[in-house]
Structure 1
Amino acid sequence: MANTFVIEQPQSIPVTLSSQEWSTDLFDCFKDIPTCCFAYWCLPCFACRTSKEFGEHECLPLLDIFGGSAITMSMRLSVRQRYGINGSIARDCVYVTFCTSCVWCQMSREIKRRRIQIVMVDAKNI
């Protein structure tokens, strides 16, 4: 008497990560402590790395030295536009003015989470 084994491979369904909200709050540094420590201790280096990960020139954030926070503000608006995140320029302006390192951390977390655009989910045929 022979035993027959049937093996089913899980099938995958592509799901895109899309939301009209930030995936983390502005002050969610405890969700990524190493990143926030890097931003706190060396914000210019962190901002340059984040800018490069976003596809912009690596040294672009260094221009904030000459123009206040214009580059940080532009990057935040660009991140919101690329990922379709709701928000307002007024709120972005307040965040950039008073919490620059938190803004860069939030943008970095968002870029990391949305960099992988397709998530494979196991599905079963019923």
Structure 2
Amino acid sequence: IMSTFVVQQPRPVMVAQNSDEWGSGICDCCEDVPQCCFAFWCCPCFACITTRDYGECLCLPLLEIFGGLIPPITMSMRVSMRQRYGIRGTMCRDCVYSTFCTSCSWCQMSREMKKRNYQVVLVGAKTT
């Protein structure tokens, strides 16, 4: 009796994030604790890095010191990200999150970029 075994390597799987909702909630900081700590303890640095990764000027968030009650850059980034990724929401909600939950808002935007910009890299793949 001859047995034949077929062995297959696991294939890369990419989950597309095409939802019209945020991939995580505003208070889902436990999804990435180191990132959350960085944003909490040094929000200006974290905001600058997130803005750069989004494709905007690194120092853009530093202009918020010239803003008034509502942080204009944080709110603009939320609105821009919602438009880029087709996320439902309102400017009123963006305004509230930007004003009262600034660090959490930047964390949420960073997590969203990571989820939506997922890339698959194959290392050592061979064709047979």
Give the TM-score taking structure 1 as reference length.
0.82
Correspondence 1:53-64 to 2 at 5 A? 53-64=53-64
CA RMSD, 1 decimal: 2.1
Query: Given that residues 16 and 117 in structure 1 are in contact (C-alpha distance below 8 angstroms), is that contact kept between their aligned partners in structure 2?
Result: no
C-alpha displacement at 1:97, in angstroms?
1.1
Unaligned runs of 5+ in 2: 121-128
For residues 13 and 88 of structure 1, do their structure 2 counterparts lie closer, same or farther at Cα, with a shift above 3 Å needed? same
Name the CA distance, whole Å, in 2 between partners of 1:7 and 1:54: 41
C-alpha displacement at 1:56, in angstroms?
0.7
Name the CA distance, whole Å, in 1 between partners of 2:10 and 2:31: 31
Identity between Structure 1 and Structure 2 (%) = 60
Report Cα offsets for 1:83-105 as digits up to 9, x if no partner.
11000011111111111111111
Query: Given that residues 21 and 88 in structure 2 are in contact (C-alpha distance below 8 angstroms), is that contact kept between their aligned partners in structure 1?
Result: yes
Aligned length: 118
Q: What amino acid does structure 2 have at the position aligned with 1:87?
A: G
Correspondence 1:65-84 to 2 at 5 A? 65-68=65-68, 69-84=71-86
Report Cα offsets for 1:34-88 as digits up to 9, x if no partner.
0110011101000000001111111111111111311111000011111110000
Higher normalized contact order (CA 8 Å, seq sep 6+, divided by chain length): 1
C-alpha displacement at 1:17, in angstroms?
2.0
Aligned to 1:96: 98
Name the CA distance, whole Å, in 1 between partners of 2:18 and 2:41: 32
Give the TM-score taking structure 2 as reference length.
0.81
- Which of structure 1's runs of 4+ aligned residues deviate more than 3 A? 1-15
Unaligned runs of 5+ in 1: 119-126
Q: What amino acid does structure 2 have at the position aligned with 1:47?
A: A
For residues 82 and 66 of structure 1, do their structure 2 counterparts lie closer, same or farther at Cα, with a shift above 3 Å needed? same
